[in-house]
Amino acid sequence: MRKITFYISIICFIGLGSCTSYTTDKEIRTGVEKDVAYLADDKLEGRAIGTPGEQLAAEYIAAAFKKYGLEPKGTDGYMQPFNVKKATSPHEEAVIGDAEGGITGRNVVGYIDNGAENTVVIGAHFDHLGYGEEGSLYRGEKAIHNGADDNASGTAAMIQLARILKNKGKDKNYLFMAFSGEENGLWGSNYFSKNSTIDLGTVDYMINMDMVGRMNDEKTLAINGVGTSPVWMNKIEAANTDTLKLVTSESGIGPSDHTSFYLQDIPVLHFFTGQHEDYHRPSDDSDKINYHGMVKVVRLIERLVLSLDQEEKIAFTKTKDDSGDSPRFTVSLGVVPDYLYDGQGMRIDGVSEEKPAQKAGMQKGDIVMKLGDSTIVDMMSYMRALAAFQLGDETKVEFKRGEELKTVDIKF
């Protein structure tokens, strides 16, 4: 690789042919390590929306956009401030707009204008939970939630893609966005989708990276939203030259910022390397990030985007869960599902303290095969089964541990 890079540099230097700079894997890794280290540092105090730490993070991202030659595309330079008046009761929704008062957040928006007809949006949220007042799964003393994987990782990957596509992508325009307020309810992407600084009718598709920093030893990568355009699966498979283990789902609806664009009839993809026991806890720190895996995610998205660069705007398709019939449940087993598991049942990736599963002796790695009278074949059947129970109900859970089948009694 060093020789190839050297020869390319010499050819470009002496003016033989047209050249663009090539960003090496080592440069990408160095970049994501630096970005994650800054964004997940204690001095940013968890990057909660409306805090000084969130503002420092936004300024850091804007400086990176400027460094890599992106034009400002916010409403105030790179920034797109927005205001949120929080709900005062559980029956109200937060009001997101421009009015004074409430919480002020900021999206960070940079643009590569190639004079093209269509634009690709590549985004990631950069906010997190601050000291964990809302949304934390941690039950100890007050502590900073640095959110290295969630979502300093996605933000860092987005910055590196901006660096790469500034030099490589020539046949589409590219809008790069760091969203705030995602942890509170997709506030930033919701606001942008209704107050876009470009014509949303020109948007070809949207790529979202949320938690891409913990690739496992099996090199598993989840890609959600593959049903939002008929071209996705073939293009993704062709781009997967690193032979990652891909786990895909069709839905354009999910708990991250791509949802805001899908609801505007834009094809979307959400890249995700999986849940873990540090999720929404103070232990989600930069020393646990798989930076080598992050490079693989960046490269796959680079290949995917460039494979569509000279093609027409892709078709949008609605996904089958648009009716809003997702199961609603009022109880919890107290486990973190393994969203990357594609076998029979629902594999547990983590167990919460003092919850029904832990009290019954269930462990990380157990695979739930039956909940009450319902056979569990996948995540959706698990959710449907869970939705049938109320607080105080008792039932049995059948699960596999290795090759052994076990049954325990639980009480919600």
Indicate if the pLDDT at residue 239 is higher than 70.
Answer: yes
User: Which pLDDT does position 70 carry in this prediction?
Assistant: 98
Indicate if the pLDDT at residue 200 is higher than 90.
Answer: yes
Q: In this predicted model, which residue has the larger pLDDT, 388 or 104?
A: 104
User: What would the mean pLDDT of 96-109 be, rounded to a whole number?
Assistant: 87
Lowest mean pLDDT among 40-49, 84-93, 262-271: 84-93
Query: Average pLDDT over the chain, rounded to whole?
Result: 90
User: Which pLDDT does position 91 carry in this prediction?
Assistant: 55
Report pLDDT digits (tens) over 13-32. 333 333 446 889 999 999 99
With beta carbons less than 8 A apart as the criterion, state whether 197 and 334 touch: no
Report pLDDT digits (tens) over 136-158. 988 889 999 999 999 999 999 99
User: What would the mean pLDDT of 202-212 be, rounded to a whole number?
Assistant: 98
Q: What are phi and psi of 81, to 5 degrees?
A: -70, 150
With beta carbons less than 8 A apart as the criterion, state whether 307 and 169 touch: no
Residue with tokens 């050297």: 6
Q: Which helix (H) or strand (E) holds 103?
A: strand 103-112
Q: Write out the two tokens for 283.
A: 């232990």
DSSP 76: B
User: Which pLDDT does position 78 carry in this prediction?
Assistant: 98
Residue 396: alpha-carbon gap to chain centroid: 34
User: Which pLDDT does position 384 carry in this prediction?
Assistant: 82
Residue 2: alpha-carbon gap to chain centroid: 32
What pTM does this model have? Answer: 0.82
Q: How confident is the model at residue 102 (pLDDT cuts 50, 70, 90)?
A: confident
Q: In this predicted model, which residue has the larger pLDDT, 201 or 23?
A: 201
3-state secondary structure of 90: coil
**Residues 245, 343, 269, 23, Cα dihedral to 10°:** -20
Indicate if the pLDDT at residue 243 is higher than 60.
Answer: yes
